[in-house]
A and B are shown apart, each in its own frame.
Chain A
Amino acid sequence: MAILNFTLNPEALGKLHDALALLSVFKGRIGDPTRERDTAIERCDVSVEDEEGKTKSRFVIKIVCRHGVIKTYRLTFESVAPMHALFVKENANNNWSISSKTLREFVEHFGPGTEQLDICSEDGRVSLTSYTEKIVSGNEILKQPLRTTIAIDALEFAEFAVEEQLHIGISVKDFKSIITHAGITNTIVKALYSHPTCPMQLTYSEEGIFSEFILMTIGESRGASAAPALNASRAGSKRPAPRQSLGATSTSKMAATSDMPPPPPGAGPSRGREASHGRISRPSPPPPQPSIQVNELFVPVGEDDRRWDPVNYEDEEEMLLWDTGAEKNSATMNSSRNLQGQEAQPQLNASLANVAENQGRQPSPTQRLAPTQRMSEIKGVFDD
């Protein structure tokens, strides 16, 4: 029995796609409207089947295309109590907010390969440092990633109320992903945190999507002045405020530099990548891969200089040849794509009713029919 039914117009389908982009079946299937001619989507019916006693719950997406093609996705789901990292807002006495575009410009300076991001402020300057802790020697030293520090005026921030000299560390990869995502539109990113080992919350909202991320944090373990005695007070992480209210700079500095054990088991959920609130519970699409984006954003040397780069002959598809290889190529690509989908998401039982040649799962590669379309012409279900 369906407990929920609704129909989406093609525009809304794009939004639904965004919401489901985390599932690998839909990954990267953002449509290009210009090549939606033959199988344009006319309607999309969505229903949620969930019934007590039944073993399986399904989220059914039925896409009605032109020419009577109907694509049906049945995604099984299991209802679970939502897991949400604990974040005690009241204890978060440090906060800042900044334009996402400004922050993104800064974040672009971070090179690839680093692990940690340290945030600290002193005398009206805010330092963001991306670094790696790995200790290496000999020739390996040269393979160390760039360590980058950006020192900016606190006035760059819309608001900045952070304890002086408090070092807090987060995953630079997560931060870059979040900021790359936030930087797509001009919004304000807000950060809230108390002290190292307690989670940091990053929030921003844009066009009805409210994004909230809770990040694990660590202290500055690079500092020499580790004070193990202070470790005892970590147990009281539920009440971080008292320690900070000591106020004395030196005390908080010591707290920040005390060495960092792995977070207590209870902090597990705090690693949760993201959690979203809003009227509709809806995960935001995965942030674009920063490694690619970052480089593209440095326009000035860009395009023109790239023509001097050596040709990568292995990756070149385009070749001055007759078109004999085209069929073979698309067959291989097709198979690899299907395989990827299967491997990545075996538990996702997305069966396809009517359109076999596009998304269908053939029993084995050898039994596959030769494709009749090039990959470039194939429209995905969510290519709208």
Chain B
Amino acid sequence: MRFKTSIRNIQTFSKLTASLSSLGKVAWVRLDDDTVRFTIIPETGTQVWASLLIDSIFEDYTIQSAAPNNTINLELPLTPLHRALKSAINASSASIRLTKREGVPVLSLTIITNTISSGNSANGFLNGANQDPFGDNAFREEHLDAGKDREAIITQDIPVRVLTADSVEGIHEPRVREPDAHIILPSLIQLKAISDRFTKLAMATSTSAGRGGTAGNNVPKLELAANMHGGLKLSISTDALNISSVWTGLTNPELDPRQVEDGVEEHPSTKLKAAGPDAWSTVRIDGRDWGKVLSVGRLGGRVIACFANDNALILYVYLSNYEDGTDESVLTYYISSFSV
């Protein structure tokens, strides 16, 4: 079993880790010849299935295992990974390999940074070693060296568990019925700011009504709805308030006929579209969980939301790739809707 790669884009990898870690502490990582997949399945809340092209974060990628397609399954804690990647932010290069440290499997992150040698040149003055500027020592090696960068090699070992193929066999991506509406979401930072504010308001009004208590569980749910005419509606209602924001002029992407089994005409979204702009598909979601989901906005991807009325909301986050291929790196978020 062998896995070794350079990190092509440390920023993206770090942001990906940050986004994922808001939903769960441990990820199941599946590496093979073609893709890198990160899966987060928390006990409650949103699942993430992130499938990335190798080129989008790695380069010089080598993988080898006894399994078909050289698959390696790992259980990887995200907090240490994110912490380790922080060390690499200003690195000149960084690479990862799967290895063992004292019998424990680790993902070893090797980071090479150039240190600015200002520290030492300052010390040169303090040493005051060079008494005679015209002596034999006037052009010591130290002086030549002073302007040169030196390397510091930082190794961060992240503990991992190597999973057997059997143990992950039963884990499948959720299946959701064909959505009633699909729409490209507006700026996620805007959406996040408004969602967070709504949730805060709802918590404030409901906790004051309920005199503290178990405020966490009784928080009213956010209602998110879309139509097939470019409209998105975010609302929340409590005993004390009813508030909503509406976006218009958004894009409902066209369905690809090749990917729709029963034909575009029979698709639920076609029917919703025909029902006009007042026909909405609605889901109820937990504001705090939604806030964690929207943390993916830092990756700057294009986000399509698919609404299965009263059932589920699925977000597809497409990351821009280096090569303009047909395949894309996509993060899929499965958010189930709360009942009324």
Contact = CB atoms under 8 A, between A and B. Distances in A.
B200 A310 contact: no
A66 interface: no
A158 B127 contact: yes
B196 A311 contact: yes
Contact of A158 (B19, B126, B151): B126
Nearest to A324: B208
Given A153-B151, A319-B204, A321-B204, A148 B157 contact: yes
B119 A102 contact: yes
Interface in A144-164: 144-153, 155-159
Contacts of A147: 101, 106, 156-157
B291 A310 contact: yes
Interface string B100-123: 011010100000000101111011
What secondary structure prevails in chain B residues at the interface with A? Answer: helix
A233 to B, nearest CB: 27
Contacts of A158: 119-120, 123, 126-127
A305 B288 contact: no
Interface stretch (B78-86, B169-177, B254-262): B78-86
A248 interface: no
A120 to B, nearest CB: 14
B297 interface: yes
A320 B200 contact: yes
Contact of A99 (B101, B106, B123, B203): B123
B95 interface: no
Max chain A C-beta neighbours (<10 A), residue from B156, B196, B197: B156
Interface string A304-335: 01011111010010011100000000000000
Contact of A151 (B153, B159, B161): B153
A305 B87 CA distance: 16
A30 interface: no
B60 to A, nearest CB: 22
B199 interface: yes
Interface string B184-209: 00000100100011011101100000
A109 interface: yes
B294 A144 contact: no
A105 interface: yes
A188 interface: yes
Contacts of B104: 141, 144
B77 interface: yes
A197 B197 CA distance: 57
Interface string B260-300: 00000000000000000000000000001001101111100
B159 A308 contact: no
A301 B14 contact: yes
Given A105-B115, A301-B14, A146 B200 contact: no
Contacts of B106: 147
Contacts of B200: 311, 313, 316, 319-320
Interface in B200-257: 200-201, 203-204
A307 B83 contact: no
A67 interface: no
A111 B83 contact: yes
B36 interface: no
B35 interface: no
Contact of B75 (A142, A151, A186, A311): A142
Given A111-B80, A309-B22, A300 B89 contact: yes
Contact of B156 (A101, A111, A152, A311): A111
B119 A146 contact: no
Contact of A98 (B18, B119, B297): B119
B134 to A, nearest CB: 24
B277 to A, nearest CB: 32
Interface in B122-172: 122-123, 126-127, 145, 150-161
B84 A111 contact: yes
B319 interface: no
Contacts of A156: 115, 117, 119-120, 150, 152
Contacts of A152: 115, 150, 152-153
B90 interface: yes
A150 B113 CA distance: 10
B154 A102 contact: no
B153 A310 contact: no
A153 B113 CA distance: 12
A36 B196 CA distance: 36
A298 B123 CA distance: 25
Contacts of B115: 102, 105, 152, 156
Contact of B159 (A144, A153, A222): A144
B73 to A, nearest CB: 14
B15 interface: yes
A155 B154 contact: no
A312 to B, nearest CB: 9
Given A141-B161, A148-B156, 9 more contacts: A111-B84, A144-B159, A146-B158, A148-B87, A148-B157, A149-B157, A150-B152, A307-B189, A313-B199
8 contacts: A111-B80, A144-B104, A146-B156, A147-B157, A149-B154, A301-B11, A310-B295, A313-B203
